[in-house]
Amino acid sequence: MTRAFLIVMDSVGCGGAPDAADFGDEGANTLAHIAQACAAGRADAGRSGPLRMPVLDGLGLGAAIRLASGAETPGLAATPTGLWGAATEVSRGKDTPTGHWELAGVPVPWEWTTFPDTDPAFPPDLLAEMARAAGTEGTLCNTHASGTEVIERFGAEHLRTGWPICYTSVDSVLQIAAHEEAFGLDRLLDVCETLAPRLHAMKVGRVIARPFLGSEATGFARTQNRRDFAIAPPAPTLCDRVQAAGRRVHAIGKIKDIFSGRGIDTVAKGSDAALMEALIAAGQVAEEGSLTFANFVEFDSLYGHRRDVAGYARALEWFDAQLPRFLATLRPGDLAIFTADHGNDPTWHGTEHTRERVPVVGYGVGVHEVGIVGFRDVGATIGAHLGVEMFDMGKAMLP
């Protein structure tokens, strides 16, 4: 019996989605455009030169990008030594739950409900219910917005009034921001939990608590205590299958939230730096037959949405530089797959996710080109490796 590690680099897409034009994203390519910007000297803040990711590129990252989209990948030109390919999504969405559920074997069978890009965005009765849940006379914002921008715009007014800040995006989501101390973290979580059943019944994927700290004088910043109240997957996922087989499932990052707590045994949360330490610890101590499922979100939350190319490149290089420590913990027979859930091209217009294929690179099975596969094939591969029945939930990519 061996172990499996499924590691999602949130938003690290590689272009080439055949239906990208349907989402207004034809030509978006997160990894290729970052690599090209680095090589052209347009991403030298805090770093310099071509994009350096020798570990993942050595497994097949650059080759996966070129396979997915045909794009040039300066700095990522290694001959693959691992499992490598790219995955195409079939679900109609480019958000976190959609990508993760399909990676875990369950495409989304419905159309998500999204809120219109208008001001106001939310219906009055929903805002009234939010105010009642918060014990306030009203709410703030009520439009499509960037999370970092709304706390800058409304943070001071929030402190004066006590009213929660509500906003959305092109994703199927309601986000509520509130000051972690003045409003209270537990109170914010209670508001989100109270509203979640109504939103889920509407097929809105997530209600997200977005706590922040700071003042008008010092500025405001979001904290690590975000929590997603996500709709439950419509069928048993990889996590459920592994757990039902009597194995342990260890969630790192926001995995528990994404899967509404189902099929999860242990949870580690924190910054990406803390999550890397948790992943390395899992490599050292995780049980035989277990699944460790990790999400590293800061590529997306700190750099993709903010269209920070240099910051995204720094994060990619930092992540890659940590991987030798993790790979050193793996035992003979272990399988580690690195992939993503969608794109968020920091060179693209707007501030939203981008519809892209995602790279699939793996360690533990030798050199193995898998070609263009489906998201579900990632979960099927993990299941096959662990000897867990996935019930026609994709095709295993094992040699």
Q: What is the pLDDT of residues 205-220, one digit of tens each?
A: 999 999 999 999 999 9
CA distances from 11 to 98, 172, 237, 297 (A): 12, 16, 21, 8
What secondary structure letter does DSSP report for 20? G
Total domain count for the chain?
2
pLDDT at 148: 87
pLDDT at 377: 98
Same domain flag for 366 and 275: yes
Say how far apart CA 347 and CA 377 lie, in whole Å.
29
Using one digit for the tens of pLDDT, what is the confidence trace for 107-128? 999 999 999 999 999 999 999 9
For residue 190, tell me if it sits in a domain.
yes
CA distances from 250 to 24, 258, 385 (A): 36, 14, 17
pLDDT > 80? residue 338: yes
For residue 201, tell me if it sits in a domain.
yes
For residue 326, tell me if it sits in a domain.
yes
For residue 118, tell me if it sits in a domain.
no
Name residue 361's amino acid: V
Residue 12: CB atoms within 10 A of its CB come to 29
pLDDT > 70? residue 186: yes
Say how far apart CA 77 and CA 326 lie, in whole Å.
23
pLDDT at 393: 87
Same domain flag for 172 and 314: no
Using one digit for the tens of pLDDT, what is the confidence trace for 217-250? 999 999 999 999 999 999 999 999 999 999 999 9
Strand order in the sheet with 291-296: 266-268, 249-252, 291-296, 4-9, 335-339, 358-363, 83-88, 368-374
Give the three-class secondary structure for 156: helix
Using a 10 angstrom Cβ sphere, with 0-12 exposed, 13-18 middle and 19 or more buried, the burial of residue 116 is: exposed
Q: Which residue has the tokens 């939103």?
A: 199
Same domain flag for 88 and 195: no
pLDDT at 391: 82
For residue 46, tell me if it sits in a domain.
yes
If you average pLDDT over residues 47-53, what whole number do you get? 98
pLDDT > 70? residue 163: yes
pLDDT at 117: 93
Question: 195, 230, 265 — which closes off a domain?
Answer: 230
Same domain flag for 254 and 372: yes
Same domain flag for 150 and 248: no
pLDDT > 90? residue 32: yes
Percent of the chain beyond pLDDT 90? 96
For residue 198, tell me if it sits in a domain.
yes
pLDDT at 392: 84
Same domain flag for 370 and 241: yes
Contact call for residues 169 and 144 (beta carbons, < 8 A): yes
The DSSP result for 294-351, as a single string, is: EEE-HIIIIIITTT-HHHHHHHHHHHHHHHHHHHTTPPTT-EEEEE-SSB--TTSSSS
User: Does 341 carry a binding-site annotation?
Assistant: yes
Using one digit for the tens of pLDDT, what is the confidence trace for 249-293? 999 999 999 999 999 999 999 999 999 999 999 999 999 999 999
Q: Taking the CA atoms of the chain, what radius of gyration do you get in angstroms?
A: 20
Beta-carbon contacts of residue 79 (< 8 Å; ≥ 6 apart): 63
If you average pLDDT over residues 359-370, what whole number do you get? 98
Same domain flag for 43 and 17: yes
User: Does 100 carry a binding-site annotation?
Assistant: no
Q: Taken in order 209, 213, 216, 220, is the CA torsion positive or negative?
A: negative
What secondary structure letter does DSSP report for 163? P
pLDDT band at residue 170 using 50, 70 and 90 as cut-offs? confident
Contact call for residues 390 and 380 (beta carbons, < 8 A): yes
pLDDT > 90? residue 1: no
pLDDT band at residue 97 using 50, 70 and 90 as cut-offs? very high
Beta-carbon contacts of residue 211 (< 8 Å; ≥ 6 apart): 177, 178, 179, 180, 185, 188, 222, 223, 225, 226
Question: 211, 230, 249 — which closes off a domain?
Answer: 230
| Mean pLDDT (the chain, rounded) | 97
Whichever domain contains 373, its CATH number is 3.40.720.10
Q: Which residue has the tokens 């990508």?
A: 99
User: Does 345 carry a binding-site annotation?
Assistant: no
pLDDT > 90? residue 13: yes
Same domain flag for 219 and 245: no
For residue 398, tell me if it sits in a domain.
no
Cα–Cα–Cα angle for 177, 91, 235, rounded to 5 degrees: 85
Question: 230, 261, 280 — which closes off a domain?
Answer: 230
pLDDT at 366: 97
Phi, psi angles (nearest 5°) of residue 296:
-105, 110
For residue 115, tell me if it sits in a domain.
no
pLDDT at 252: 98
Say how far apart CA 125 and CA 195 lie, in whole Å.
12
**pTM for this structure?**
0.91
Say how far apart CA 284 and CA 277 lie, in whole Å.
11
Same domain flag for 32 and 175: no
Q: Which domain holds residue 175?
A: 124-230
Q: Which two tokens stand for residue 16?
A: 């080439």
Same domain flag for 101 and 134: no
Contact call for residues 383 and 390 (beta carbons, < 8 A): yes
Q: Which residue has the tokens 């904290």?
A: 223
Same domain flag for 103 and 167: no
Same domain flag for 226 and 256: no
User: Does 342 carry a binding-site annotation?
Assistant: yes
Whichever domain contains 149, its CATH number is 3.30.70.1250
